[in-house]
Structure 1
Amino acid sequence: MTRAGMTLKRATIRAVVVPLRRPIIAGIGRFDQWPLVLVDLEMNDGIVGSSYLAPYRAAALPAIVAGLRDLLSGLEGRQVAPGDEFETATHEINVSGLSGISLIAASGIDMALWDALAKDAGLPLARLLGGTVGPVRAYNSNGLWRHTASALPGEARALIEDGGFTAVKLRLGNEHLRDDLAAIDAVRQGVGFDIDLMVDFNQALGLGDAIRRCHQLDEQNLYWFEEPIAYTNVRGYAQLSRSVRTPLQAGENFYGPTDLLTIMDSVAYAMGDLMRIGGVTGWMRTAGLAAAAGVQFSNHLYPEFASHLLRVTPTAHWLEWVDWAVPILATPLEPAAGTISAPDVPGAGLEWDERAVAKYAVQV
């Protein structure tokens, strides 16, 4: 007997702005709150596929919501599948460009449809994709922003203790080298030299300054230099990678597998952001490219989905742990012994705390 496919009954799009436990302070700006777009796709049999998008700026919420509603228009009452809808969406948005708001919206729909498909199959997303549910090595990315150095030792200790982590990320790119060195020293004072310390410049430096600064930091035993220069400067990454010993990390700002492919020859490590890379479908395609290039692949944000996807990624590297969506989740992930494990339940494991959603809801 052939099982009928999923038929979309109703799509619900909501927006919230939630508080952050620690403000984001980096070269990209300061954020004290975190905007999220919640996507819920209800099928005729009652299954609801869910996802969220995090566009950084609350001012971007109306455009993302409009993009979602545009791509979802006409889908109600039709059979839907993530692969089919992703191909349709990318065909439709091709005329305006396969990047930006359009691809972000397509990614949110794709993630929600994969969540629904896994629930329809009665399987965790990792198992639906051919893997298993289990621990993924993670680093804590919930702090160590560009504060004064005196605040960093205590915060570093708190991040390590908040789940038994053995790795944390520090943000650099201060105007003067001495301030970057002071920040590194402060973190080491707090947690010692046995932890892995990634550093992220958030594109703060020009190419020449990046070559000088990274040379000067090469002796600091740092795990990676993340985005020292503008992500669009692919030639600059190639030059920088030949100039320094510490491996480079980049990729979070690229849209779709083809864009991210352009950086693969210039970095040792890459990461994909699910709202830009094309959701689950885009991730799986990009993971194959990373594997073919021999580049270790990590996630950027979205740990709920990444904890599944990294279990089926051939060159899976680190999971970036952030708790920024936790305020509206009924069953948030819990770090343990420096790892994150997806819940062994059908789907991706997203469940909204509806009281919290109502509390933080904003109109768009």
Structure 2
Amino acid sequence: MQLAPLTFKSIRARAVLLKLKRPVVARIATITEWPLILIDLFTEEGIVGRSYLEPYTPKTMRYLVPALEDFGAMLKGRRVAPVELYDLARKSLHFVGYQGLSMIAVSGLDMAAWDALAKAAGVPLCVLLGGSVGPVRSYNSNGLWLQPPEALAEDAIALRDEGGFTALKLRLGRERASDDIAAIAAVRTAVGEDIELMADFNQGLHIGEALQRCHMIDDEGLAWIEEPIVYDNLDGYAQLTAELNTPIQIGENFYGPRDLHTALQRKACDLVMPDFMRIGGVTGWLRASALAGAAGVPMSTHLYPEVAAHVMRVTETAHWLEWQDWADPILQKPYPIREGLLHIRDVPGVGIEWNEEAVTASLADL
């Protein structure tokens, strides 16, 4: 494999807003439209690296798009070396902090840089990273939000059948704990005992509620209980992890590998699932996965299934890929799902190309 040198030319960042087929209904928020920032990293050699960000709220894009454009001006003429660009971009925002929007912007840059580098090498990203093209075990996270328990059965069957999934995620945190238990029972009855179920409270409980509710569902055979309390309450997570038999899953709010390291040191979880826009893109993931691997802690992904599939092929403790199709409408060729496996296409880079007609129709007015 010969890596052709690439020279950074510019960045284009476009904000789009997509209507969700199944709106996000969690205890802390309801989301009907999904914002994305589409990133094109142009090089002097003509290769374009692509990535996207999913910043949850449309107004956040007003701050992230200019930050990405500033990176484009700052890095012009530099060699596209992802680790170096990651460090330069982070240091340029050092005085406003390494977390929050700073890390999210850096992550978008990083993922696009890795895509460009793999395209220049003529290989899929997973191959560039030392792995091989192949399938990745995935669970469907597209639905099972806070609907009434009696409405969940049909949704669960549809989600299972979307790609022959063997695992689904449902959300908990209804007003009454008994309704959460009824929701688990409804999904179990609909899809059977052979389907693994993950439960996510989306940070909706305080520690008192979490102690009560998590103990109530501790014998339901769940694959994990995810983020019952606010993400930075590591003392609370350590208590829950020590008391419960069901594994505690956190990590989508780790801002960089050091947050993961701190959580493991504090014994605040049994499982980790970093989000690519917060952990630091591909570079941050690789550093975090080394820590999880050394600790023997299973590592799953959060959002971004395309880049997630590639890095999971080189992650020592790879566990589950979270699959959502929320970005599919603006992709030319979404990744196929068959028998619960996400299949990486054997093409250079990550395999992301924009459906420009859909992009034009979805552009957001900032």
TM range (shorter): over 0.9
TM-score scaled to structure 1, two decimals? Answer: 0.98
Partner of 1:175: 175
* Counterpart-to-counterpart distance in 2, 1:293 and 1:22: 37
Residues 309-350 of structure 1, C-alpha deviations (whole Å, 9 max, x = no match): 000000000000000000100000111011112111000000
* Counterpart-to-counterpart distance in 1, 2:326 and 2:85: 28
Structure 2 counterpart of 1:196, one-letter code: E
Identity of aligned residues (%): 53
* Counterpart-to-counterpart distance in 2, 1:293 and 1:94: 29
SS at match of 2:353: coil
Q: Residue 186 of structure 1: CA displacement?
A: 1.1
Structure 1 counterpart of 2:342, one-letter code: I
Partner of 2:300: 298
User: Unaligned 5+ residue runs, structure 2?
Assistant: none
SS at match of 1:199: strand
Partner of 2:69: 69
Aligned pairs (5 A) from 1:118-137? 118-137=118-137
Partner of 1:354: 356
TM-score scaled to structure 2, two decimals? Answer: 0.97
Once the two structures are overlaid, the 10-residue window that deviates more, 310-319 or 9-18, is 9-18
User: Unaligned 5+ residue runs, structure 1?
Assistant: none
Structure 2 counterpart of 1:78, one-letter code: R
Partner of 1:269: 271
Aligned pairs (5 A) from 1:1-364? 5-264=5-264, 265-364=267-366
Structure 1 counterpart of 2:336, one-letter code: E
* Counterpart-to-counterpart distance in 2, 1:209 and 1:101: 30
Give the RMSD, CA atoms, in angstroms.
1.2
Structure 2 counterpart of 1:110, one-letter code: D
Structure 1 counterpart of 2:292, one-letter code: A
Residues 192-222 of structure 1, C-alpha deviations (whole Å, 9 max, x = no match): 1110000000011111221111111111111
* Counterpart-to-counterpart distance in 2, 1:11 and 1:297: 31
Structure 1 counterpart of 2:346, one-letter code: D
* Counterpart-to-counterpart distance in 1, 2:319 and 2:4: 37
Structure 1 counterpart of 2:353, one-letter code: E
Q: Residue 9 of structure 1: CA displacement?
A: 2.4
Residues 16-42 of structure 1, C-alpha deviations (whole Å, 9 max, x = no match): 001111000002311111000000011
SS at match of 1:35: strand
Q: Residue 76 of structure 1: CA displacement?
A: 2.3
* Counterpart-to-counterpart distance in 2, 1:35 and 1:258: 27
Structure 2 counterpart of 1:204, one-letter code: G
* Counterpart-to-counterpart distance in 1, 2:53 and 2:289: 20
- Residue 138 to residue 205, structure 1, CA distance change in 2 (3 Å): same
SS at match of 1:219: coil
Aligned residue pair count: 363
CA contact (8 A) 2:300 2:318 kept: yes
* Counterpart-to-counterpart distance in 2, 1:201 and 1:262: 22
Q: Residue 4 of structure 1: CA displacement?
A: 5.6
* Counterpart-to-counterpart distance in 2, 1:132 and 1:80: 23
* Counterpart-to-counterpart distance in 1, 2:297 and 2:231: 17
* Counterpart-to-counterpart distance in 1, 2:115 and 2:46: 13
Structure 2 counterpart of 1:183, one-letter code: A
CA contact (8 A) 1:11 1:76 kept: no
* Counterpart-to-counterpart distance in 2, 1:119 and 1:45: 11
Once the two structures are overlaid, the 10-residue window that deviates more, 89-98 or 48-57, is 89-98
CA contact (8 A) 1:211 1:244 kept: no
Structure 2 counterpart of 1:246, one-letter code: T
Structure 2 counterpart of 1:212, one-letter code: Q
